[in-house]
A and B are shown apart, each in its own frame.
Chain A
């Protein structure tokens, strides 16, 4: 242990970096390539994308908003979710000390590229329990069809 600390070529910082990378790998965080529009970890809101044969489902984890404060737009195959989250956090002073300020505050904007068969005309968005779910139906013609053999 001590030996490896002393002989590491990049010194301590490099060792920490290596440790962090190994941990991320172990947790499967960098196991597969991300989307080109993916942003740094911890971005707001976090986004999950799911797929079914008939639709694309996007979940944005954006707690503490009102439905009317969120704008959802589909343009040229890219879904954009934007809005603003205002927090009434007190100024950190002697009267009201702040011990943790981890929650995101301010304007946000995230984009997700959609598959080719996503139909921009058939999009629904619902906000519930702090999660925005956007469902985009796939075009009928591109869905797999079974052809009867005569």
Chain B
């Protein structure tokens, strides 16, 4: 799994969410920080070998609020990754809570390590 170098049909500038990615024998786990994104504004797409995460930041701001200082200057997160063929994109599991996305991308059964019994004889 690697970062896509070419930006996906980027229409609007977006922030790159910070991620943790790690692997075990069963698959890959990805966690992404998407603070301020409500569940209904998060989109996870797999198109071919590309996994794309996109979310819109929605802050409940009172009427007439003016920004006086801002470190988060865009209201959109976007990041794309290239998946490798041993990953089973059909069975990706996603959980999203308190602005953290948990993605589990399992490997195809045939790609998982198997212990081969050595038969005496």
User: Residues on A close to B: CB < 8 A?
Assistant: 28, 34-35, 38, 41, 43, 45-53, 55, 57, 59, 61-66, 87, 89-90, 92, 95-104, 112, 127-131, 133, 135
Where chain B touches its partner, the secondary structure class is loop
> Interface size for chain B: under 10, 10 to 19, 20 to 34, or 35 or more residues?
35 or more
Chain A CB within 8 A of B86 CB? no
Please give, as numbers and ranges, the residues of chain B lying within 8 Å of A104 by CB-CB distance.
Answer: 18
A35 CA / B69 CA spacing, docked (Å) = 8
Binary contact readout B37-69 vs A (1 if CB under 8 angstroms, 0 otherwise)? 110000000000000000000111111111111
Chain A contact residues: over half helix, strand or loop, or mixed?
loop
Residues of A within 8 A of B64 (CB): 52-53
Supplied contacts A59-B36, A102-B18, 20 more A-B pairs, CB within 8 Å: A46-B71, A48-B71, A50-B61, A50-B66, A50-B67, A52-B64, A61-B72, A63-B34, A63-B98, A63-B100, A64-B100, A89-B20, A89-B22, A92-B22, A97-B22, A99-B23, A101-B20, A129-B58, A130-B34, A131-B36
Q: Which 4 A-B pairs have the closest CB atoms?
A: A130-B99, A63-B99, A130-B35, A61-B35
Selected from B35, B65, B70, B71, the residue in CB contact (under 8 A) with A129 is: B35
Chain B 1-42 interface mask (CB, 8 Å, partner A; 1/0): 100000000000000001111111100000101111110000
Query: What is the count of residue pairs linking A and B with beta-carbon distances less than 8 angstroms?
Result: 121
Q: Which residues of B contact A112 (CB under 8 A)?
A: 69
Pick from B20, B34, B65, B98: contact of A57, CB below 8 A.
Answer: B65
Q: B22's contact among A45, A51, A99, A129, by CB below 8 Å, is which?
A: A99
Q: Which B residues are CB-close (under 8 A) to A47?
A: 69, 71
A133 touches B59 (CB 8 A): yes
Q: How far is the CB of B32 from chain A (nearest CB, A)?
A: 8
Q: Which residue of B lies closest to A105 (CB)?
A: B20
What's the minimum C-beta distance from B86 to chain A, rounded to whole angstroms? 14
Q: A46-B71, A46-B72, A98-B22 are in contact. Are A63 and B33 (CB under 8 A)?
A: yes
Is B68's CB under 8 angstroms from A95's CB?
no
Q: Are A62 and B35 in contact (CB under 8 A)?
A: yes
